[in-house]
A and B are shown apart, each in its own frame.
Chain A
Amino acid sequence: DTAVSQTPKYLVTQMGNDKSIKCEQNLGHDTMYWYKQDSKKFLKIMFSYNNKELIINETVPNRFSPKSPDKAHLNLHINSLELGDSAVYFCASNVRGRRQETQYFGPGTRLLVL
């Protein structure tokens, strides 16, 4: 069974549209993350949620809004998509606050904004 899953795997859309990416983990972890990997392959954290509560919010445009309906899900909604939003978005999870804990990543969602 997949530990961290994301849907969709690919997303192609027009500028100005609103889209959502979903993430689910079945590991019983209480902390989930969204990362963005740009064309230069640099991986940067965007958000972190713990038990449905936002604990990290890096400098990300307000057009990006994470939503956590329960601790197993963390969805990412993006309004008014721009060309620069094209990237691979990874969801991840782990147990909170333990520096030795492994972080599990999803397979990624490849977003292309035209």
Chain B
Amino acid sequence: DAKTTQPNSMESNEEEPVHLPCNHSTISGTDYIHWYRQLPSQGPEYVIHGLTSNVNNRMASLAIAEDRKSSTLILHRATLRDAAVYYCILRDNTGNQFYFGTGTSLTVIP
């Protein structure tokens, strides 16, 4: 039922930028794009979300393609604490459901 596809895993060197891609080709015009991450042995936590425009917050940036069929989560300087599974999620038009994909497991190399 997942509506997003992400690479299973990625690696990054510490203190380098990381670009985590997500495809959501069946996105509807009213779906919001959310990113969550799950640190080991913890529940998912919110990272960022957007609708059409690129978004920045203290944790990351979200770049949304013009056709909205893909997006990229950007961590500007990866730290060891950023090692987690990153989920790209579409929020349906009722706002009541999150469709989690398989996520991308990010490894940060010291």
Interface residue ranges, A against B (CB under 8 Å)? 4, 31, 35, 40-45, 48, 50, 55-56, 90, 92, 96-108
Q: Is B31 engaged at the interface, CB distance under 8 Å to the other chain?
A: yes
Residues of B within 8 A of A31 (CB): 96
Residues of A within 8 A of B30 (CB): 99
Chain B proximity of A62: nearest CB distance (Å): 20
Distance between Cα atoms of A42 and B100 in the complex (Å): 8
Chain B proximity of A16: nearest CB distance (Å): 28
Contact A45 B85, CB 8 Å, known A90-B44, A99-B32, A102-B46: no
What is the predominant secondary structure among interface residues of chain B facing chain A?
loop
Interface residue ranges, B against A (CB under 8 Å)? 1, 30-32, 36, 41-46, 49, 51, 85, 87, 91-98, 100, 102-103
21 residue pairs from A and B, CB less than 8 Å apart: A31-B96, A41-B102, A43-B44, A44-B100, A45-B98, A48-B96, A48-B97, A55-B96, A56-B97, A90-B43, A92-B43, A97-B96, A98-B95, A99-B32, A99-B93, A100-B91, A102-B46, A102-B49, A107-B42, A108-B41, A108-B42
Q: Which 8 A-B pairs have the closest CB atoms?
A: A105-B43, A43-B100, A99-B91, A97-B95, A99-B32, A99-B95, A102-B46, A105-B44
Contact residue among A42, A45, A55, A92 (Cβ-Cβ distance under 8 Å from B102) = A42
Inter-chain contact total with CB atoms closer than 8 Å: 60
Contact B97 A45 (CB under 8 A): yes
Residues of B within 8 A of A100 (CB): 32, 49, 51, 91
